[in-house]
Amino acid sequence: MRAPIYLDNATTTPLDPHVLEAMKPYFFEWYGSPTHEYGHAFGLKAREALEESREVVARSIGAGPEEVIFTSGGTESNNLAIKGIALANRDKQHLITSKIEHTSVLNVAKSLERTGVRVSYLNVDREGFVDLEQLRDEVDEKTLLVSIQHANQEVGTVQDVSEIGKICEEKGVLFHVDAVQSFTKVPVDVEKMNIDLLSISAHKIHGPKGIGALYVGGGVKLKPLIEGGYHEFGLRSGTENIPGAVGFAKGIEIVDDSHLEHMRRLRDHLTEDLLEIPDSRLNGPKGDKRLCNNINITFRFVEGESVLLHLDMRGIIVTTGSACFSKTLEPSHVILALGLKHEDAHGSIRFSLSKYNTLEEMDYTIKNVREVVEQLRSISPVRR
């Protein structure tokens, strides 16, 4: 078995070698800064590459190229979308989001709260689906923006973005979608789904780290957070990351439906066998409404960091929602928002897959998780 068995792809993925090949010329040959049409010819090659990449990104989400802004990644895209809208619309001071968003949305919301913006954090049900009735009730004339993720980073719940988009359109409020986890895994069409802003990132899809994009629909006004030389339609200044943009586009182009089917098969196999371990439960939904590469299981009576470390020593890389593992020593806000208990979060392990994982790796993982959980339960004071 080739170690490590990397099952933390929701955090980040390895670069696909084809992506690196596509990027290389823009480090060594065409390293110029993209010039506008009256600049030197050397920079025009970079400009072409940038705009072609932009078109690829735009096409993948049903947008026009003039609606796509390259950023440094998902976190920046979320910051730019929410803060940018808040700064441009100081008369409307109400934001709606959900309790299970990524920290790059939740911490932006908290920061806006300190400046006087009112924030509604929508509840989710046991499987992580946003309460749409509550959404309808919360929207009022002061509402600036609804920011809801497409798929959840921990439990893989895929929201009904079309329905949320419909509600937002009816109510006349802007709609931002953090699609970082779902991008290229769940289809998205900004036109059909009434999405005004959408965040995506390259390194979750075997592209390079340090590049992402924000879709900004025509007519949506936002203020830039990074000002300077008016790059990216004046919304995100700084010399463009050409190799990054090229790598991002390549990453999108090489996605194949067979990868999704492959991950789904591995997901279902791993889920089924791990749930045979006594006192284990699946967190999040089953089937099509779950991200094809996400498994999140709570093993009761054991603590996640210990499981993680034992698995790490056996060459298996996973994450946990345990408090011990978090920077703030608080258990996963997502697991708690599902209405589960602290100990359900402490015992939760997330396995996130990529196209590179194999069936053999799943079987090795199943065997080792079983052993580790048994070993830790044998010294656990609970369940006795």
Residues annotated as catalytic (active site), given as ranges: 324
- Helix H, strand E, coil C: the string for 137-172 is HHCCCCEEEEEEECECCCCCEECCHHHHHHHHHHHC
Whole-angstrom distance, CA of residue 256 vs CA of residue 252: 9
* # residues contacting other proteins (CB under 8 A): 31
Q: Where are the beta strands (DSSP E) in 56-169?
A: 68-71, 94-98, 118-122, 143-149
Q: Minimum Å distance from CB 9 to other proteins?
A: 17
Task: Give the whole-angstrom CA distance, residue 324 versus residue 249.
Answer: 38
> Which residue number, 240 or 344, has a Cβ lying nearer to other proteins?
344
Comparison of 122 and 335: residue with beta carbon closer to other proteins:
335
Minimum CB separation from other proteins for residue 4, in Å? 6
For 85, the token pair is 């809208």
CB of 164 to other proteins, least distance (A): 30
Residue appearing with tokens 């919301």:
109
Q: Which pair of structure tokens corresponds to residue 179?
A: 């699609």
E strands, the chain, in order: 5-6, 68-71, 94-98, 118-122, 143-149, 174-178, 197-201, 212-216, 280-282, 294-299, 316-317, 319-320, 348-352
DSSP H or E run through 325 = none
How many angstroms separate the CA atoms of 295 and 197, rounded?
28
Binding segment toward other proteins, per CB under 8 A, in 31-39, 93-101, 248-256, 341-349: 341-349
Among 3, 20, 275, 359, binds other proteins (CB under 8 A): 3
Please identify which residue in the block is written with the tokens 């990397």: 6
The minimum distance between CB 368 and other proteins, in angstroms, equals 12
| CB of residue 74 to other proteins, shortest distance in Å | 21
The CB-of-297 to other proteins minimum distance in angstroms stands at 17
296 in Cβ contact with 155 (< 8 Å): yes
* Beta carbon nearer to other proteins, 127 or 305: 305
C-alpha atoms less than 13 angstroms from C-alpha of 133 in its C-beta half-sphere: 1
Minimum CB distance to other proteins smaller for 228 or for 278: 278
Kindly indicate which of the ranges 35-43, 68-76, 84-92, 342-350 contains the residues binding other proteins, using the contact rule CB under 8 A.
342-350
Question: Which of 6-14, 35-43, 217-225, 340-348 is the region at the interface with other proteins (rule: CB under 8 A)?
Answer: 340-348
> Residue 235: CA atoms inside 13 Å, Cβ hemisphere, count?
28
Of 298-337, binders to other proteins (CB under 8 A) are: 301-303, 305-306, 309, 312-315, 322-325, 327-331
Which lies closer to other proteins via its Cβ, residue 65 or residue 315?
A: 315
DSSP β-bridge partners for residue 351: 295
Using CB under 8 A as the binding rule, the residues of this chain from 242 to 301 that contact other proteins are 301
384 binds other proteins (CB under 8 A): yes
Rounded Cα distance between 44 and 272, Å, is 53
Residues in touch with other proteins (CB under 8 A): 3-4, 301-303, 305-306, 309, 312-315, 322-325, 327-331, 341-343, 346, 378-382, 384
